[in-house]
Amino acid sequence: MEVNQQARCRELAKSSSFYSTVYSEIEEVGWEHLVRAGGDLSFLIFRVLDKKGRVHVTEIQLDKAYPRVPPMVSADVPYVFNLKWSMNSRLKNLVQQFEKHLEKLQAFWSTLDEIDRSLQIVDSKQASRAIPSRQIHVGNGCFIILFIDNNDPRSLPECRFMGLGNTVNSLRKTWKRNVDKWERDKAFLENLECLLNTQLPRLADAETNNHLDECGICYAQYLPIGDELGPQTGSATDYTCENNSCSKAFHSMCLVDWLRSITTTRQSFNVLFGNCPYCSEPIAVKINATKN
């Protein structure tokens, strides 16, 4: 991300009608929602909070013939919405359609959150909000893979069994025998343990944050190696947003650069006070945690 991408975009807006159009439409959406803008403004990333405070990003690819050519959209969702577009459409219309799409997926993500925060997920870092399946430890060297219906997440999920022969066969038989006991009004985990007739291993507190996250600004796990970075050279992410619905990780150095580009950022001694680039919750970062 540029140190001051808003100023860069403003300068570009003076050079062509394409840049001017995109710049004005970003302003309509709100600069606080813009995570990243490509050098030629043909690639944009916006962040949106859903009703539960979860942070979602949508990536937008713009053709030079925009808006005659509709944008290409991708997002952290199980399926992308069908974009309704006309010559009179603007980026704010796209973001509004994305927000409506997020509303339809609230129950689906609440179910995934219930699973992810309670059970032992295999390769939890890959268990994104866009993937409707979860591979879960059930003990004794066995696993189940659940496929959640994103349109009806309270319904009985498809379940596949993996593991040692006799044990996994017993689990499979128990599931089939109890399948009629699934109740839509029950909590998902309660239903799951009822059908399996066992208590599933819970996620230990020490395991909730045992993986290394990429920085939400530079999108790398580690800073580059170089003398100009001083003691921070090659360091991992060292700051995490305290909003539990966000928990985005950052390099302090990247966060300081980003905060300095925002006019509303305040400084007191060696601390910068501003808002998280993703969820807008208040954050504070020490300047001396970065390069000299």
Domain ranges of the chain: 1-106, 119-196, 222-286
* 8 A C-beta contact, residue 271 and residue 284: yes
Residue 122's pLDDT band, with cuts at 50, 70 and 90, is confident
**pLDDT at residue 228, as a whole number:** 65
Class of domain 1-106: alpha beta
Above 50 in pLDDT, residue 45? Answer: yes
Residue 114 has pLDDT above 60, yes or no: yes
Q: Are 148 and 108 in contact (CB under 8 A)?
A: yes
pLDDT of residue 98: 97
Q: What is the pLDDT of residue 212?
A: 57
Q: Label residue 215 by pLDDT band (50, 70, 90).
A: confident
CA distance 160 to 128: 19
User: Identical fold at 1-106 and 119-196?
Assistant: yes
CATH architecture of 119-196: Roll (3.10)
Q: 143-178 pLDDT, tens per residue? A: 999 999 999 999 999 999 998 778 899 999 999 999
Q: Which CATH superfamily hosts domain 222-286? A: Zinc/RING finger domain, C3HC4 (zinc finger) (3.30.40.10)
User: What mean pLDDT do residues 24-36 have?
Assistant: 90
